[in-house]
Amino acid sequence: MAKIKQAFGLWESPITPQLLSRRIRFEDVQWSPDGNALVWTESRSGQSVPVLCTPTGVRRDLNSIHSLRGGVGYGGGEFSLADHTLVFVEKDGRIYTQPFQHGIPRPITPPFGACASPVVSPDGKWVVFVWSDGKDDVLGIVDSEGEQWPQKLVRGADFYMQPAWHPHGQYLAWVEWNHPNMPWDGTRLMLAELEGTPPTIRKVQTIGGDEHTPSFQPAFSPDGQWLCFVEGDGDWERLILFHITSGERRVLYTPQQAHLMLPAWVQGLRTLAWAPDSQSIYVLQNAAGETHLYRIGLNGDPEEIPISPYTWLSQISISPMDGRLAFIASSPQIPSQIVLLDGNRFHVLAYSETEMISPEFYSVPQPIQWKTMDGTMAYGLYYPPTHPNCESKGLPPAILNIHGGPTSQATLAYNPEAAYFTSRGYAYVEVNYRGSTGYGRRYRDALRGNWGKADVEDAVTCAEALGERRLADPGRLIIKGGSAGGYTVLNALAHHPGTFKAGVCLYGVSNLFTLDMDTHKFEARYTASLVGELPDAAQKYHDWSPVFHARNIRDPLIIFQGSEDRVVPPNQSESIVKALQQTGTPHRYILYEGEGHGFRKSENLLNYYQELERFLVQYVLFAP
């Protein structure tokens, strides 16, 4: 069958705004301690619903009244499981417990502050959790019946994450750190011996990490002899094994050119799990944005486990009964799924989207790299236009997407927005600029003191490379990004006008001075590390704040913002809009009521895709 000849960007695609606005987002998946139930969360139009799956494969919503939402920092760590009981954090900030069968959720903490990462003691009597009021952070403890007032178990550090109980209940491990660090800069992994009722700290020691070395995800072996965790090791990381009684500490495994930890923007991240027999550890490796699964024996020998057809796995969890592994899994051609790995076979338990879209409509990305202005290399993923029935002449328009963070990474996971545009005839490029995770610590740290400069240079040199390699039409390039990525968009348009045909900014930073004053505790010192300390770095703050150079923006710009965004408040977008109004630059500003830092409601996602496509048609496809 001959392909239809149609202009790039106007191909008819089955990947509609309605389809993407209604897709489910999976956030976590965990086995119960007895291995008789698997629970995951599905975000449906902003409502995060816990779903239980029985050993026979029967699934049901545990409740549809309460929305699970970790409230510390950027969230995460929404729930954990005891035998036959769900323990979760609600968006109201309280911790609730709910039996799997015939039970109404019941709060066990008062409505004060924010909670995350509740973990239940092995005897089911106590819950340890991360708590914050935005000023002070602690590890709290409360009885699982909620009969007593919560107590502060651990205090003194600025931040806490990933608390873990010893299987016999006599020890507790966690990660903590202080300003000015972010959790990927340097943290301490702590091990405490407990005593009394309620449990209190008898003795505590630091067994991993330091102010310059990050540590991640403490996990006790099921037999109680060992504690393993991930620790930074120069450019990469290593897996550490610590013997509880003898204090022996040894490096169990060091991968080559791969990461074992993720940047902990949220609570509750997991990249490793003990086998039930305590003789091996399963680890997820990130090698240039692609997941590799290994089983590491206690002798340190690695065995790679094939994960095809998937290329990205997250939130590993293992059944203590039979060792089956559960993940959130995807690939560029497979939307996110909840899967079980039983031996060497995957079984799908839940889908984030319908299966009506043929894989032929999904673009397969190609790794690309290019030289930056200082001669070093930058990295990205190039998604070519893909459609089984359409073709066009010439070079396609391209969307350069700048991820947030900036310490994040575009990976080989399913990318719904890339699929939406490539199936319409756009090229789509994920720019993993200097500062991104995935290419070693030196690459990530290259943005320190250079945010607003290096990231912009990498976007501009990427645009130039696309034209030189004839991968995109250099006259029809769009730069798009959210949060920190939106900041890069605004700076690129202000300092390199004419490089891009148009810009798309989602809740982007425009004023570094007000960001530094208004931001939340988690990032209170982040701008100082990325740009510099005030007042000494005031000139940098001025030079790299888009709002002070907005008069130079002449390329059309569309801005999307949530009214309840506490990370990048609406005033950051509104100041840019005011400047564009004064200069007469073509622009649109769309404010979504009730949305925060990222959009969740189906009706707003639907509107977002519709408005974005209209904007691109008008100012890119049909523009002179």
Lowest mean pLDDT among 17-21, 399-403, 615-619: 17-21
247 and 391 inside one domain: no
Specify the pLDDT at position 405: 92
In 433-506, the DSSP E strands lie at 477-482, 502-506
- Eight-state DSSP code of residue 33: T
Kindly compute the dihedral angle of the four CA atoms of residues 530, 402, 366, 379, in this order, to the nearest 10 degrees: -20
Q: Specify the 3-state DSSP secondary structure of 201.
A: strand
Residues 450, 571, single domain; the answer is: yes
Residues 335 and 439 in one domain: no
pLDDT above 90 (res 70) = no
Span 258-274, mean pLDDT? 96
Say if residues 272 and 283 touch (Cβ distance below 8 Å).
yes
> pLDDT band at 530, cuts 50/70/90?
very high
DSSP state of 63: -
Q: What is the DSSP pairing of strand 398-402 with strand 427-432?
A: parallel
Q: What is the mean pLDDT of residues 230-246?
A: 97
φ, ψ at 495 (rounded to 5°): -100, -15
Check: CB of residue 175 under 8 Å from CB of residue 215: yes
Which run of H or E residues covers position 490? helix 484-495
First vs last C-alpha separation in the chain = 34
* 117 within a domain of the structure (yes/no): yes
* Cα 116-121-125 angle, rounded to 5 deg: 105
Quote the pLDDT of residue 354: 83
d(CA 9, CA 15): 13
CATH number of the domain at 327, please.
2.140.10.30
Closest CA to 619 of 550, 553, 552, 558: 558
Contact 184, 214 (CB under 8 A): yes
Q: How far is 287 from 389, CA to CA, in rounded Å?
A: 34
Are 264 and 330 in a shared domain? yes
Please name every residue paired with 389 in a beta bridge, in sequence order, or none if there are none: none
The residue among 114, 52, 38, 125 whose CA lies nearest residue 78 is 114
Burial 509-544 (b: 16+ CB within 10 A, else e): bbbbebbbeebebbbebbbbbbbbeeeebeebbebb
Strand 236-243 relative to strand 249-253, pairing: antiparallel
DSSP secondary structure letters along 270-320: --EEE-TTSSEEEEEEEETTEEEEEEEETT--EEEE--TT-SEEEEEEE-T
What distance in Å separates the CA atoms of residue 147 and residue 77, rounded to the nearest whole number? 23
Altogether, the residues listed in the chain come to a count of: 624
pLDDT tens per residue, range 139-197: 999 999 999 999 999 999 999 999 999 999 999 999 999 999 999 999 999 999 999 99
Mean residue pLDDT across the chain: 95
Assess contact for 361 and 367: CB atoms under 8 A.
Answer: no
Domain shared by 453 and 504, yes or no? yes
The CA distance from 187 to 215, in Å, is: 6
User: What is the predicted pLDDT for the residue at 554?
Assistant: 96
Question: Contact, 409 vs 434, CB < 8 A?
Answer: no
413 in a structural domain? no
Q: 390 and 345 in one domain?
A: no
Whether residue 24 is predicted with pLDDT greater than 80 in this model: the reply is: yes
Q: Do residues 175 and 218 make contact, with C-beta atoms less than 8 angstroms apart?
A: yes
Domain limits at 616? 386-395+434-621
Q: Tokens 């002899």 belong to which residue?
A: 225
To 10 degrees, the CA torsion angle through 16, 616, 456, 412? 20
Q: How many CB atoms lie within 10 A of CB 384?
A: 17
pLDDT of amino acid 425 = 97
- Long-range contacts (CB closer than 8 Å, 24 or more residues apart) made by 522-525: 522/73, 522/74, 522/159, 523/182, 523/567, 524/179, 525/179, 525/180, 525/181
Residue 371, domain member (yes or no): no
Residue 408 lies inside a defined structural domain of this protein = no
Identify whether residues 186 and 109 lie together within a single domain. Answer: yes
Question: Would 6 be classed as within a structural domain?
Answer: no
For residue 47, what pLDDT band results from cuts at 50, 70 and 90?
Answer: confident
Per residue in 565-593, pLDDT tens?
A: 888 999 999 999 999 999 999 999 999 99
Please check whether residue 610 lies inside any domain of the structure: yes
Q: Where is 539: in which H helix or E strand?
A: helix 538-543
Q: 456, 448, 537, 451: which is closest to 495 by C-alpha? A: 456
Q: Which residues pair with 245 in a beta bridge?
A: none
- Judge if 329 and 438 occupy the same domain: no
List the CATH number of the domain containing 528.
3.40.50.1820
287, amino acid identity: A
Asked if residue 308 and residue 391 are part of one domain, the reply reads no
Residue where the block lists tokens 């450019």: 235
Please state, for a pLDDT cut of 90, what percent of the chain lies above it. Answer: 90
Q: How far apart are CA 29 and CA 314, in angstroms?
A: 9
Task: State whether 311 and 449 are in the same domain.
Answer: no
Is the pLDDT at 103 greater than 90? The verdict is no
- How many CA atoms does the CB half-sphere of 513 hold within 13 Å? 14
Residues of the chain with pLDDT > 70, as a percent, come to 100
Using an 8 Å Cβ cutoff, are 163 and 87 in contact? no
Considering the domain boundaries, does residue 617 fall inside one? yes
Residue 584, class by beta-carbon neighbours within 10 Å (0-12 exposed, 13-18 middle, 19+ buried)? exposed
| Same-domain check for residues 303 and 390 | no
Say if residue 609's pLDDT is above 70. yes
* Contact assessment for residue 429 and residue 399, using Cβ atoms and an 8 Å cutoff: yes
Number of neighbours of residue 279 by Cβ within 10 angstroms = 14
Question: How many angstroms separate the CA atoms of 388 and 417, rounded?
Answer: 18
Instruction: Identify the CA nearest to 456 among candidates 548, 360, 546.
Output: 546
- Distance CA(311)–CA(302), nearest Å, equals 19
Same domain, 439 and 312: no
Q: Are 573 and 561 in contact (CB under 8 A)?
A: yes
Per the domain annotation, does 400 fall within a domain?
Answer: no
For the four alpha carbons of 544, 545, 547 and 548, in that order, the dihedral sign comes to: negative
The pLDDT of residue 1 is: 66
Both tokens assigned to 483 = 């949060």
Number of domains in the chain: 2
pLDDT at 542: 97
